[in-house]
Structure 1
């Protein structure tokens, strides 16, 4: 019987508030360029009030990945918590409109829907200040065993380790995946996230994860090494597949048996927000559709190239059509 979903994604359901700023803005608000920093409601409001005109769009790392998978024409579901407020309704509408199943019940009490202030500097780097809000109310009860069981892959963003309740939800999802033969995938999310949870991530990679996603900085941080090749050598024995992105250098797919280098797709860089999320969407679409690892990596690179060519972390064209046009896939 065919799976109901090719990929079920779990993550922080966040509305992105995106604006272009000068480096002086980052300095004023003591932001570390290129990082994702968790902030409280007061700090979030202070940055928001000082921001120039901004674009508000549904985001969140795994939400972006789910949206990309659906844009490729694959079946995807999403698990993440919003509040029953205006931004929560916007998030739910956006992710459903692109074709993702999203049935997590919204919170009716407590903190509002999460927001992320994404500051895009002149070099196209994005610096994120994230208020988790209602995300933290995700519980293991929100993870439906039947949905995980009827998925080919469960994909989780590393950011979910930031609170005990979210982490418990992930571990419940992984438990269901192991029980039903669903492949387990993890994105390391951010090198600062890796710093916070290194020992737990290493344990996961060595014992539970089938498909690992990371960029160059994240995989080097995971193993506390100074060069990419050394990180590749360390991860290689432990996972079925590691899909590692290297920006303008493209990506490297690592398995116990081979190392595949795939060049980046040409593009004009406007905003790097969502590059890794959309790479994962293309790769997982290809992987669960029976494409080769090389083809899957090319699809990932294509999706990443599309999303960094404009502001915002969701595709602005149908990726299914783009893949056919550009790659014949």
Structure 2
């Protein structure tokens, strides 16, 4: 097998995140799902945007956030996702290319606007996400660069994008291409509601051996297995995927890889400012080690360090030198 050009290629929603601070009363008044992620139509997105206070805009999208972390950790990455040829689409394209990620998906000339995620952050740092997928939900299989997919060691897929039918077909095709090229497939479940809707698909993929690395949090794991006991759920899923990574917020994370198990505590942090992107950056830290053959516990520690950095500030992407932080903590 030839050496791949990319360490990781990801397919996901191309979004611009719009942040605002709010109170718990605002969450109730606006009828938001506190701490969760809700999909919006364009009318509801406009309504919530008009209700936001002062905002900060940053390029986002779960898989794109993970790639941003990986690129900052020195890995060669590529992204496939759909934007419109509008202002937000230009912002997203500039931002992802500026950090060295290959992004060649052709922009839409018309159709839905570029997607956005309206994020309300309460004083405890909890984020409530409200997402208008926009152009992202019309990503067709024809937009895939199959050569790039075959030339990446790991294909990383975002569960959020499994919900719309057209991108789901595109990701199924991407899995076929990666498998044919002898590459690994990593999958992040993204949110329990995605599993509620498509859990049968995910369980079938695990049974068929199509997922090599699965990222979940403990709530998603319980939804996936239908089991309330964490350890029972871990045992059930780890028997079906070569690498299982399960995060547990302040209780750290575990990973099971081909029968080997490792656990780490959460990294201490002075203040949680915004939990947006914590799971995305944990995946980035973990994959930065896994892609280079690091021991399982080190991969988890990398993930915990990256997650701690991102929750110390607004926004889903690193602002500090995470490579230096990892080098200092791991010696």
When normalised by structure 1's length, the TM-score is: 0.97
- Counterpart in 2 of 1:234? 236
Contact 1:80 1:135 in 2 (8 A): yes
Contact 1:35 1:192 in 2 (8 A): no
The aligned runs of 1:102-113 (5 Å cut-off) are 102-113=103-114
Instruction: Pick one of 287, 297, 301 that aligns with 1:298.
Output: 301
SS at match of 2:106: coil
Contact 1:107 1:137 in 2 (8 A): no
1:88 to 2:92 alignment:
no
1:142-169 residue CA offsets vs partner (Å, 9 max, x unmatched):
2112111111100001011111101011
- Counterpart in 2 of 1:216? 218
**Number of aligned positions between the proteins:** 328
Aligned counterparts of 1:23 and 1:184: Cα–Cα separation in 2: 39
Aligned-pair CA distance for 1:98: 1.4
SS at match of 2:59: strand
Deviates more, 1:190-199 or 1:274-283: 190-199
- Counterpart in 1 of 2:316? 313
Q: Which runs of 5+ in 2 are unaligned?
A: none
Q: Which runs of 5+ in 1 are unaligned?
A: none
Aligned counterparts of 2:189 and 2:305: Cα–Cα separation in 1: 21
1:258-307 residue CA offsets vs partner (Å, 9 max, x unmatched):
22111111113111100000011111111111211111111111111110
The aligned runs of 1:1-329 (5 Å cut-off) are 1-207=2-208, 208-267=210-269, 268-328=271-331
Aligned counterparts of 1:319 and 1:106: Cα–Cα separation in 2: 31
SS at match of 1:234: helix
Deviates more, 1:270-279 or 1:224-233: 224-233
Contact 1:205 1:212 in 2 (8 A): no
Contact 1:116 1:128 in 2 (8 A): yes
Aligned counterparts of 1:96 and 1:318: Cα–Cα separation in 2: 19
Deviates more, 1:236-245 or 1:29-38: 29-38
Aligned counterparts of 1:23 and 1:193: Cα–Cα separation in 2: 25
Aligned counterparts of 1:2 and 1:177: Cα–Cα separation in 2: 14
Contact 2:257 2:296 in 1 (8 A): no
SS at match of 1:243: strand
SS at match of 1:132: strand
Contact 1:124 1:270 in 2 (8 A): yes
1:126-146 residue CA offsets vs partner (Å, 9 max, x unmatched):
111100111012111121121
Contact 2:20 2:119 in 1 (8 A): yes
Deviates more, 1:95-104 or 1:182-191: 95-104
Aligned CA-pair RMSD: 1.1
When normalised by structure 2's length, the TM-score is: 0.97
Aligned-pair CA distance for 1:99: 1.6
Aligned counterparts of 2:252 and 2:223: Cα–Cα separation in 1: 19
Aligned counterparts of 2:164 and 2:308: Cα–Cα separation in 1: 32
Contact 1:191 1:217 in 2 (8 A): yes
